[in-house]
Structure 1
Amino acid sequence: MSSRSAPFITPEHLNNISAEELKRRLAGDPFEAVQWIKALAERGEAEAQVLLGQAYLDGYGLEPDPRQARIWFRKAAEAGHLLGMNMLGRAYDQGWGGPVDHACAAYWFRTAANQGLDWGMYNYGHLLLHGLGVEKNEREAFDWYNKAAELGHAKSLGVVGRFFEEGWLGERDQEKAFDYYRRSAEAGDFRGQYNYALMLSERGQMEGALQWMREALGNAHMAFTRTMAANLLKHPHPVLYQVGMEALHKCALRGNAHDAYAYAKFLLAQGAGNIANLSLGRWWLRCAARQGHTQAQQEVDFHISLS
Structure 2
Amino acid sequence: MTHIDVEILRTRARDGDPEAQFDLALRYSEGTGVPESPATAFRWLSKAAEVGHVEAMGALGRCYHGGLGCPEDLGLAIEWYEKALGRGADDVHADLAQVLCDERAEAHRDIERAVRLLREGWDRHEDAACAGILSELYEDEFRDEAESLKWARIAAEAGDGAAMVTLGYRHRFGEGVERDLKKMLYWYRRGAEHGDATAIANLAICYQNGEGVKVDSERAYALREEAAEMGHAGSRVWLAFALVDGTGCEPDPVRARGLLEELAEDDPEVAHDLADRLIDGPGLDQDVEAGLTWMQSAADRGYAPALTYLGVLAWYGKFVELDRAHALSLYQRAMELGDPYAVANVGFATLGGDEVPRDAQRGVELLVAAAEKGNAHAALWLAERWLEGAQDIPRDPARAVQILETCVAHEEDGDVLFHLAELVRDGRGVERNLERAMDLFQLAEINGRDSRVERGLLRRELR
Question: Is TM more than 0.5 here?
Answer: yes
Q: 1:181 to 1:303 in 2, by over 3 A?
A: same
Report the equivalent of 2:187. Answer: 180
Query: 1:96/1:37 Cα in 2 relative to 1: closer, same or farther (>3 Å)?
Result: farther
Cα distance in 2 for residues equivalent to 1:204 and 1:25: 46
Letter in 1 for 2:111: H
Shift of residue 275 of structure 1?
A: 4.7
**1:284 Cα shift?**
2.1
In 1, distance between residues paired with 2:45 and 2:231? 30
Amino acid at match of 2:264: A
Q: State whether residues 22 and 56 of structure 2, in contact with CA within 8 Å, keep that contact through their aligned partners in structure 1.
A: no
**Which shifted more, 258-267 or 144-153?**
258-267
Per the alignment, in what secondary structure is the counterpart of residue 247 of structure 2?
Answer: helix
Asked if structure 1 preserves the Cα contact closer than 8 Å seen for 2:278 and 2:285, the reply is no
Percent sequence identity over matched residues?
23
- Partner in structure 2 of residue 103 of structure 1: 112
Distance (Å, rounded) in 2 between the aligned partners of 1:47 and 1:62: 18
AA at the equivalent of 1:122: G
- Residue 109 of structure 1, CA deviation: 1.8
Deviates more, 1:277-286 or 1:77-86: 277-286
- C-alpha distance in structure 1 between counterparts of 2:78 and 2:128, whole Å: 21
Q: TM-score, structure 2 length as denominator?
A: 0.50
Does the Cα contact within 8 Å between 2:280 and 2:286 map onto a contact in 1?
no
Instruction: Provide the residue aligned with 2:288 in structure 1.
Output: 278
One of 189, 200, 217 as aligned partner of 1:193: 200
Q: Which residue of 1 aligns with 2:134?
A: 124
Cα distance in 2 for residues equivalent to 1:178 and 1:26: 36
User: Residues 164-243 of structure 1 correspond to what in structure 2 (within 5 A)?
Assistant: 164-201=171-208, 202=210, 203-216=214-227, 219=230, 239=247
The amino acid that maps onto 2:291 is G
State the distance in 1 between where 2:262 and 2:161 align. 24
Q: Where does 1:73-112 land on structure 2 (aligned, <5 Å)?
A: 73-99=81-107, 100-112=109-121
Distance 1:44-1:142 versus aligned 2 partners, 3 A rule: same
User: For the structure 1 residues 11 and 268, does the alpha-carbon distance in structure 2 shift closer, same or farther, using more than 3 Å as the test?
Assistant: closer
- 5 Å-filtered alignment, 1:10-49, equals 13-15=15-17, 19=20, 23-24=23-24, 26-28=26-28, 29-49=37-57
Q: Distance in 2 between matches of 1:138 and 1:291?
A: 36
Q: Match of 2:158?
A: 151
Q: Which amino acid aligns with 2:221?
A: L
Note closer, same or farther for the CA distance 1:291–1:193 as it changes in structure 2 (3 Å cut): same
Q: CA deviation at 1:119?
A: 0.5
Contact 1:77 1:88 (C-alpha < 8 Å) held by counterparts: no
Corresponding position of 1:51: 59
Deviation at 1:188, TM superposition (A): 2.9
Secondary structure at the counterpart of residue 189 of structure 2: helix
Segments of 5+ residues of structure 1 without an aligned counterpart are 1-8
Unaligned runs of 5+ in 2: 1-10, 29-36, 322-463
More relative contact order, 1 or 2 (CA 8 Å, 6+ apart): 1
For residues 83 and 25 of structure 1, the distance between their equivalents in structure 2, rounded to whole angstroms, comes to: 18
Following superposition, the deviation at residue 251 of structure 1 comes to: 5.4
Distance in 1 separating the partners of 2:60 and 2:49: 7
Counterpart in the other structure of 2:266: 254
> 148-157 or 160-169, which moves further after superposition?
160-169
Number of aligned positions between the proteins: 279
Displacement of 1:68: 1.0
Q: Quick one: distance in 2 between partners of 1:176 and 1:282?
A: 44
Aligned-pair CA distance for 1:182: 1.4
1:135-171 Cα offsets, whole Å, 9 max, x none, are 5433332232222222322111111222333333443
Deviation of the 1:117 alpha carbon? 0.5
**One-letter amino acid of the structure 2 residue matched with residue 270 of structure 1:** G
Task: Give yes or no for contact 1:65–1:97 (8 Å, CA) kept in 2.
Answer: no
Deviation larger for 279-288 or 108-117:
279-288
Q: CA deviation at 1:288?
A: 4.3
| Residues 260 and 274 in structure 2, CA contact (< 8 A), matched pair in contact too | yes
**Residues 198-230 of structure 1: CA deviation (Å, up to 9, x unaligned):** 2223122222122223444565666x679x87x
Q: 1:61 to 1:197 in 2, by over 3 A?
A: closer
Match of 1:264 in 2: 275
